[in-house]
Amino acid sequence: MSTPSYSLEEIADALGGRLIGNGKLRVSSLVHPANVSGPEDLALAMEPGLLSLVKKSKAAAAVVAGKEEDSAFIPARILVERPRVAMAKLTALFAKPVEVKPGIHPTAVVEEGAKIGKNPSIGAFAYVGARALIGDNAVLHPQCYIGEDACIGNDALIHAGAKIGAGTRIGDRAIVHFNASIGADGFSYVTPQVGSVEAAKAGSGGTVTASNASLIRIASLAPVILGDDVEIGANTSIDRGTVASTRVGNGTKIDNQVQIGHNVTIGDNCMICGRVGIAGSAVIGNRVVLGGAVGVADHVTVGDDAIAMAMSGIAGNVPPKTIVGGLPAAPREKMMENLFNLGRLKQLFKKVETLVEKMDRFEKNSISQQT
């Protein structure tokens, strides 16, 4: 796999940045200023604290932010306004995706009735089930599994080890990373009589008043539907629905090790961070951000543009454009007030102890005076 090489002019055009210095200089790698080893390295110094490292390095070129005069000592540089956006564009330029050769590998299995679009790339030992539909330019890496009647959109990318269940529909340009599971059965069971959880929800005074003598499985009949431009992280699991589909909207990005339960609906352009768990039938609005290890209870609704801080436990509905945190999750101002008050408890206890001691002495003095 060849290493990409670009002139500073080409990079500046791609970033929409302002080039100062020799635009013909070519670079072939992006590096931290502390790791510059030669003139072909492009130092990323978009944070003010990194400029001092560029001075000590052998960097001939850098990408910087801020005022032009702050980086005047760098011979060739590209000034950008939005460092994170610049980082996204730069890494896209220099990325080296693992290639799958065009065509269908001889060891791949494509079952009868499956339809393969134009220009496919299907790797070794991949499996495509009966009546599945693979879109144009789709890339299936080795050892991925596409179940029967599944639909993979145009330009989609399915990485090695991913399992796409029967009937699952994945939109155009979607990316599914290593060992993700899309379309397994939901975790849904019922007991013949009222079980422990049902009794607890009905109000049992804090004690367990019923038991689960046996568990009856509820089958999952509805598929998972992923929109266009969705990205699913490694080892993430999205369960199929019971009778209503589990849905993920266009442009939503889901991190590694996320669990999404049956019948969940997630809107467009959401960011779901690592180790989030969303229980069955929850509704997540558009552009919602769930920080790492957030838990969302079943049948809860999280409104559009809401943000949940890391490790929040969402047990009730969250209004749109609200920032929540804590366990149970509360509006950020209330959560910070609660944390502040917790920090004051030690001081409060000392004051109470001092007050009790004074009251004890007062009572003893009163008794002695009476006698």
Catalytic residue among 32, 177, 262, 299: 262
- Backbone dihedral region for residue 263 (phi beyond 0: left; psi -120 to 50: alpha; all else: beta): left
SS3 357: helix
Locate 331 and state its tokens. Answer: 């509006």
Other CB atoms within 10 Å distance of the CB of residue 67: 10
Q: Are 240 and 185 in contact (CB under 8 A)?
A: yes
Q: Which helix (H) or strand (E) holds 101?
A: none
32 is catalytic: no
Strand order in the sheet with 139-140: 103-104, 121-122, 139-140, 157-158, 175-176, 231-232, 253-254, 271-272, 289-290, 307-308, 323-325, 330-331
Helices (H), 204-331: none
Q: Coil, strand or helix: which one is 35? A: helix
Give catalytic residue positions: 262
